[in-house]
Structure 1
Amino acid sequence: MKLTVFGATGGIGGEIVRQALEAGHEVTAVVRDPARLAVTGERLGVVRGDLSDPEALRSAVAGRDAVLSGLGARTRKDAGITTPLTRTVLGAMEAEEVRRLLVVTAAPIGPAPERESALDRGMRRVVSAVFRDIYADLRETEAELAASGTDWTAVRPPKLLDKPLTGRYRRVIGGFPHGGRFIGRADVAHAMLSMIGDGATVGQGVGVAY
Structure 2
Amino acid sequence: MKLTVFGATGGIGQEIVRQALTTGHEVTAVVRDPARFTVTGPNLTVVRDDLSAPETVRPAVAGRDAVLSGLGARSRKDAGVATRLTRTVLDAMEAEGVRRLLVVSAGPVGPEAEGDGMLDRTMRGLVSAVLKDVYADLREMEAALAGSATDWTVVRPPRLQNKPLTGSYRTVVGGFPRRGRFIARADVAHAMLAMTEDPGTVKQGVGVAY
Tell me which interval the TM-score lies in, with the shorter structure as reference length: over 0.9
| Number of the residue aligned with 1:63 | 63
Shift of 1:35: 1.1
- Give the aligned length: 210
Shift of 1:56: 0.3
TM-score w.r.t. the length of structure 1 is: 0.99
| Number of the residue aligned with 1:125 | 125
Q: Deviations over 1:111-149 (max 9, x none)?
A: 000011000000010000000000000000000000000
Hey, what's the Cα distance between the residues in 2 that align with 1:38 and 1:15? 11
What pairs up with 1:36-75 in 2 under 5 angstroms?
Answer: 36-75=36-75
Q: Does 1:31 align with 2:28?
A: no
Unaligned runs of at least 5 residues, structure 1: none
Unaligned runs of at least 5 residues, structure 2: none
- AA in 1 matched with 2:192: M
Q: Deviations over 1:35-60 (max 9, x none)?
A: 11110000000101131100000000
Give the fraction of aligned pairs with identical amino acids, expressed as a percent: 74
- Give me the CA root mean square deviation: 0.4
Hey, what's the Cα distance between the residues in 1 that align with 2:57 and 2:34? 15
Is contact 1:50–1:56 with CA below 8 Å preserved after alignment?
no
Which secondary structure state, in structure 2, belongs to the residue aligned with residue 163 of structure 1?
coil
| Number of the residue aligned with 1:193 | 193
| Number of the residue aligned with 1:87 | 87
| Number of the residue aligned with 1:2 | 2
- AA in 2 matched with 1:145: L
Shift of 1:65: 0.2
Hey, what's the Cα distance between the residues in 2 that align with 1:170 and 1:43? 30
Stretches of 4+ moved more than 6 A in 1? none
- AA in 2 matched with 1:183: I
Hey, what's the Cα distance between the residues in 1 that align with 2:52 and 2:136? 20
TM-score w.r.t. the length of structure 2 is: 0.99
Q: Deviations over 1:166-210 (max 9, x none)?
A: 000000000000000000000000000000010000000000000
Hey, what's the Cα distance between the residues in 1 that align with 2:154 and 2:199? 13
Q: Does 1:202 align with 2:199?
A: no
